[in-house]
Chain A
């Protein structure tokens, strides 16, 4: 007959470090696997930057900034039209998207009654819009331009397409910034007799500017790197003049890179990677500005 001690002793095995501890083989293999995944991400980033920089660095000369694209002499051509075009398009996008996006965010966050069906509908709709592929916005803008008789290849159309693309992103990030402003500030302003609109204009919105600015700059940097919607709007690859207005023809850096990367001659590839360096440099500056604003001006309540 078994004693209680024998039964219990048989059932409970002592914990052993090799099987269940932090240093068991399985745990160590798991941790090494996790490290490997991160190493892969870092290696991919390093390889990507190396591929772009290795070729293009030598071509990062004054020609790149002062010359237009040349089909015949790629070794002397430059990306002047594309660089200026990118700045024009991003400027147009910013002018269109920022006021609309912030206004929509203020309405949804400060005034909208979430119990109303149409406000809930706007919410779901925004989530869906944020996931619509970029190229679809190009098709929308092309269709719109056709309907109102706007020429497709103009800068304004490109700005509109990119503004539509980043509008949901701006609205979502601006709402988060507004939500972070504590209710006491609004209540204080209202208690002093300010109207709700005045409260937003003089208290809530100024308090949320750092957050709104950060989100907006990041959204604009996404627009700066986007090419897909502009392909449908006839963003041309070989433009040999400076854009001089909203109705001017244009090309941008991402489109120019796309056009050059597909050419068989090695000179075009070099030119593409030099343009990539300029593009990445601009994105880096924008992101750095966003981070500085976030760290320096963001208040923590």
Chain B
């Protein structure tokens, strides 16, 4: 019994462990680099002769890939959710649900490979004629977006399926057609779940590593256009971690400062998502 409780308490221990593991080296880092310089600096060059630790280039990289991912995942994920919840006959569901489940189960490193060798050269350059190099935030963002379609779709579908049938019947009885019923009745009634699904997708896009490490590039520059390469926060962590960095050096500690920032951002996003569900939840 107390053993069982200890197992449950372990989750709290893990959280505390994360905070300690990140805070220790990060605090050492901030003793040498002021927090304000870190958060507002526009040059990230930890390995140069005159190192500079402004995190904004990494933040812009993450912001661009996440934004592009949402531009893909929100329309396509919601479209799939609406179709599956409101329109799909049983036979169509039987085919479409597994497609989404398979998409959700594919490892992110495979999406990275896909972005590098198919999306960038074949789709963006070949099909759409966009001038992108081997690495670009656009290719990484598109692959990220495809990866989080199932997250948005399945949670939104759950939210819409939970809307009681009587609301739909009422709307249809008043003469609204199916499209109107979906957009004006079901969608607003399910908005808390839908918003939460988008926010959860966003948090996965911010924290995803392998796709951006493979396809976004490794130069931390202020990203100003989607066709340029850029490095994200997770991309920097992955790149520095695979190189040789000795514990205790400033470069090593910079890794943990960026990790802490990433942790705080995803934590805030997640708290927003939990609040959203509570705030808008309508009990039927």
Instruction: State yes or no: do A and B come from one complex.
Output: yes
A residues sitting closer than 8 Å to B (CB atoms) are 15, 20-22, 24, 26-27, 30-31, 33-38, 40-42, 44-45, 47-48, 51-52, 99-101, 103-104, 106-108, 111-112, 121-122, 124-129, 131-140, 142-144, 146, 164, 167-168, 171, 197, 218, 221-222, 224-228, 231-232, 254, 257-258, 261-262, 269, 272-273, 276, 279-280, 283, 287
**Given A143-B21, A164-B14: A48 and B87 within 8 A (CB)?**
no
Contact count A vs B, C-beta below 8 Å: 239
- A selection of 7 A-B contacts at a CB cut-off of 8 Å is A15-B175, A22-B177, A48-B106, A100-B7, A126-B11, A127-B274, A135-B209
Select the residue from B5, B8, B206 with max chain A CB neighbours within 10 A. Answer: B8
Least distance between A47 CB and chain B CB atoms (Å): 6
Q: Are B102 and A258 in contact (CB under 8 A)?
A: no
B173 within 8 A of A: no
Q: Are A136 and B263 in contact (CB under 8 A)?
A: yes
**Given A143-B21, A276-B113: A125 and B238 within 8 A (CB)?**
no
Q: How many B residues are at the interface, by size bracket? A: 35 or more
Q: Are A128 and B238 in contact (CB under 8 A)?
A: no
B179 within 8 A of A: yes
Chain A residues with CB under 8 Å of B213's CB are 231, 258
One of A36, A100, A127, A225 near B79 (C-beta < 8 A): A36
Q: Are A135 and B237 in contact (CB under 8 A)?
A: yes
For the complex, would chain A's binding face be called helix, strand, loop or mixed by DSSP majority?
Answer: helix
One of A47, A122, A128 near B118 (C-beta < 8 A): A47
For the complex, would chain B's binding face be called helix, strand, loop or mixed by DSSP majority?
Answer: helix
B residues sitting closer than 8 Å to A (CB atoms) are 1, 3-5, 7-12, 14-15, 17-18, 20-22, 24-25, 75-76, 78-80, 82-83, 87, 96, 99-103, 105-114, 116-118, 146, 149, 153, 175-180, 200, 203-204, 206-210, 213-214, 234, 237-238, 241-242, 247, 255-256, 259, 262-263, 266-267, 269-271, 273-274
One of B11, B18, B114 near A51 (C-beta < 8 A): B114
